[in-house]
Amino acid sequence: MDSSRIRVIFHGGETVPLEITQREMNGIYLLALKGRLVLGQESRGLLTMFDNLVASGAARIVINLEQVIYVDSAGIGALIEIHRNTKAKGGNLKLCNLGPKLRQALEIARLLPIFETCPTETAAVASFREQQTM
């Protein structure tokens, strides 16, 4: 199981991290985010990590948003870009544990239907397994 973390510095040295923990389970890559997904190093760090992951051949990816405390429009833009790039490479992305505010923001922007969402990380992994058997 591979695990890595990214810590970013935000606004004048104040540490407001976006931690990204990456794990792999049976060919499914799990990214657990913790902190703020916002304009700047946070969203760029996520995009860079994702680009490296896809370049290494990852095609089934779950982003767990349970511990994300705030997402701005740049963070939503990063999720859209990740979704688009995953599809372009023939992969599949699932978001899980969306908080009520993020879910509402995606609904208002009419973006929720483009994402495949699952209530939990376990459900997301299980849905990949179900797709394999079809």
| pLDDT at residue number 16 | 60
Q: What is the mean pLDDT of the chain?
A: 88
Residue identified by tokens 């990852």 is 58
What is d(CA 97, CA 120) in angstroms, rounded to the nearest whole number? 5
- In the prediction, which pLDDT does 10 show? 40
Reported pTM: 0.87
- Which of 109, 110, 117 minimizes the C-alpha distance to 72? 109
- The model's pLDDT over 120-131, given as tens digits with 9 standing for 90+, comes to 999 999 999 887
pLDDT value of position 6? 46
Mean pLDDT (whole number) for 25-29 = 94
Whole-number Å distance between alpha carbons of 91 and 45: 20
The whole-number average pLDDT for the span 62-66 is 98
**74: helix, strand or coil:** helix
SS3 of the chain: helix, strand, coil, percent, to 5: 40, 30, 30
